[in-house]
Amino acid sequence: MAVTTSNFKNGMCIMYDGKMWIIVEFQHVKPGKGGAFVRTKLKELKTGRVVDITFRAGEKMDDVRVETKRMQYLYNDGSAFHFMDTASYEQIELGEDFVGDTAKWLKENDEVEMMVADGDYIGVEPPMFVELEITETDPGFKGDTVQGGTKPATLETGAVVQVPMFINTGERVKIDTRDGRYVTRV
C-alpha cells in the first residue's frame, strides 16, 4: 500500500531506497517561495543507523506493516539465540549480529517483543525493566550512602552498569533497558 508524505506518523515503517525505515520524527515545511517539503529523521531497521532525508510534499512510497509477536527467550548456544512463539510454540533461531546489544538484557525464559515486517523478523525488543543479579562489583563500605557516587557492576548477563556504592555482589537490581540505568534494589 502506498502512502504520501501527508500521511506520515512517528513510528510508521516505510520502504525507501529498497530498505525498511522507521520514521523517528518529521516536519512539514512550507517556505514562502518554492514547493512544500517534509524533513524526516529515519532509522534503518536492519542496521539501526539514523539519517535525515527530505521528501517533496505529496511524494509516495510503500507502507510496511509491522507487527509485534510475544516470544520467550530460551537460550544462547554460542552462535545463535533461540526464541519460542508463546502462542504457537514454534521455535526460531536468530544470529548474534541480529540480536545485537539487546543480548545484554536477555535472561533465559524472559518474554520479549519480536518485531515482524512482511514475514521477516526485524528486531528484538527486551522488557522495559529487567531484574538481574550482580555477579561482580567492588565491595561497599560502612558509610556508603544513597547520595554517594556510583561504581561499575557486572550483571549475570554480562552487562556492566553503574550502581550506587551500597550495592554488593549477589544482590538483585532493577535496570531500565532503554538507557541501561540502575532503578532500584529488588
In CATH, what number is assigned to the domain containing residue 176? 2.40.50.140
Give the residue-averaged pLDDT of 61-83: 89
Query: Same domain, yes or no, for 121 and 134?
Result: no
Which residue pairs from 90-99 have beta carbons closer than 8 angstroms and sit at least 24 positions apart in sequence?
A: 92/121, 94/121, 94/124, 98/124, 99/124
Domains in the chain, number: 3
Give the residue-averaged pLDDT of 49-71: 89
Task: Provide the Cα torsion 50, 53, 57, 60; round to 10°.
Answer: -70
Element (H, E) at 20: strand 19-29
Query: Same domain, yes or no, for 10 and 56?
Result: yes
Query: pLDDT tier at 146 (50, 70, 90 boundaries)?
Result: low
pLDDT of residue 142: 60
pLDDT of residue 166: 85
pLDDT of residue 72: 93
Query: pLDDT tier at 145 (50, 70, 90 boundaries)?
Result: low
Give the residue-averaged pLDDT of 25-49: 87
Query: Same domain, yes or no, for 112 and 156?
Result: no
Are 80 and 93 in contact, with CB atoms under 8 Å apart? Answer: yes
Query: Same domain, yes or no, for 23 and 58?
Result: yes
Of the candidates 14, 30, 63, which is a domain's last residue?
63
Query: Same domain, yes or no, for 7 and 52?
Result: yes
Of the candidates 63, 80, 103, which is a domain's last residue?
63
pLDDT at 10 over 90: no
- For residues 152 and 144, the model is more confident at 152
Range of the domain at 58: 2-63
Q: What SS3 state is found at 103? A: helix
Give the residue-averaged pLDDT of 93-122: 85
Cα-Cα-Cα-Cα dihedral sign, residues 141, 146, 150, 152: positive
pLDDT of residue 123: 79
Give the residue-averaged pLDDT of 10-31: 88
Query: Same domain, yes or no, for 108 and 72?
Result: yes
The letter for the amino acid at 66 is: V
pLDDT of residue 186: 87
Query: Same domain, yes or no, for 9 and 30?
Result: yes
Of the candidates 37, 63, 89, which is a domain's last residue?
63
**Overall pTM surpassing 0.75 (yes/no):** no
Are 115 and 141 in contact, with CB atoms under 8 Å apart? Answer: no
Query: Same domain, yes or no, for 14 and 52?
Result: yes
Query: Same domain, yes or no, for 140 and 157?
Result: yes
The mean pLDDT value of the chain amounts to: 87
Query: Same domain, yes or no, for 149 and 181?
Result: yes
The DSSP symbol for 111 reads: E
Query: Same domain, yes or no, for 118 and 145?
Result: no
